[in-house]
Structures are given as structure tokens and as C-alpha cells.
Amino acid sequence: MTRLHILRPLAVAAVLLAVGAAVPAVAGVSIDDDDHIAAREALRRGEILPLGRILAIVEGRVPGDVIDVELERHDGQWRYEVKVLTSTGRVREVKLNARNGAVLEIEDD
């Protein structure tokens, strides 16, 4: 399983460039070089949507502040997992098909 994990604020720009979108700042980004390259190549090949499109889909389903984003390759398919802090203080996790943005699951975290 390949994992892109968002953790460090200074690396936000690197991930946003890697997935080709200018979006509101997320909590932060921490990725190693291999994950960064894999994400960029997956975007170039059309295997994943840009992060900006994914975050717009998430905002439409679960409004709030994005606090964590992961891009995983699971069973041969890319999947985004986005954690959102809602206005009520609840943390929700939204799992999406990274290729087409289909919401696979929304759960409390």
C-alpha cells in the first residue's frame, strides 16, 4: 500500500503542486520523494483527480475544516481519505475513489 500523508505545514505547497491544484491550506503535508513522484505520475496519467477537485467534493458532502488528507493505493486502486473537523467539533472521514471522486464512505473518526 502506498500512502501520501498530510502532516507538515511547510510541505503543503509541494503536494498542491504535485497534484496540480491551488486549494485552501490543509493542516500540512509530509511525504517522501517516492510518494511525491507516484502522486504526480498518477495525476499525469489520469489515475487520480487533482486535490482541489477532491476537496471541493468533500466540502459539498461534509462542510468544515480539512485536517488530514491521505492518498493510498489499495488493491490496485487509488483512494483519497480526507478528515474534516465539522463546525460541531466532530471529526468525519470521507473516503473517495481518487480516479472519479465518487464518495465511497463517510464515517466518524
98 φ, ψ to 5°?
-70, -25
Domain boundaries, the chain: 2-108
Over residues 34-64, the pLDDT tens digits come to 677 888 899 999 999 999 999 999 999 999 9
pTM recorded for the entire structure: 0.70
On the CB side of 95, CA atoms within 13 Å amount to 12
Residue 105: all three cell numbers together:
464512505
Over residues 15-25, the pLDDT tens digits come to 444 444 434 44
CATH architecture of 2-108: Roll (3.10)
